[in-house]
Amino acid sequence: MQDKAKIVKVKKNPHGEITDVMMEDGNVYSINDAIMMAKDNSIENVNVGRSKNGKEYLRSNPNGFTNDNLDNLSTF
């Protein structure tokens, strides 16, 4: 079984929306690719949500901590 990837940094657009994610191994993926990876259960501690307008987004699994939320990760 292959280890799951872990998101360690994010890139945001001027509106504060996450556009890309960086994994622990240094690989960078677009948010759309990361959403597909999360659906395939290839990324640890994240899931895919759906906004009221139907747009899918990546979010951290709830765990009672805020420091590991995607919006709180370091940017690159």
Tokens of 65: 């901590």
26-37 confidence digits (pLDDT tens):
999 999 999 999
> H-type helices in 1-76, by residue range?
31-39
**Per-residue model confidence as pLDDT tens digits over 10-25:** 999 999 999 999 999 9
What per-residue confidence (pLDDT) applies to 2? Answer: 66
Q: What is the H or E stretch that residue 10 is in?
A: strand 7-12
Model-level pTM greater than 0.85?
yes
Q: Is 36 helix (H, G, I), strand (E, B) or coil?
A: helix
Task: Give the model's pLDDT for residue 8.
Answer: 97
Given a contact cutoff of 8 angstroms between Cβ atoms, the answer to whether 29 and 19 are in contact is no
User: According to the model, what pLDDT value does residue 63 have?
Assistant: 87
CA distance 36 to 43: 10
Would you say residue 1 has pLDDT above 90? no
Q: Write down the mean pLDDT value for the chain.
A: 94
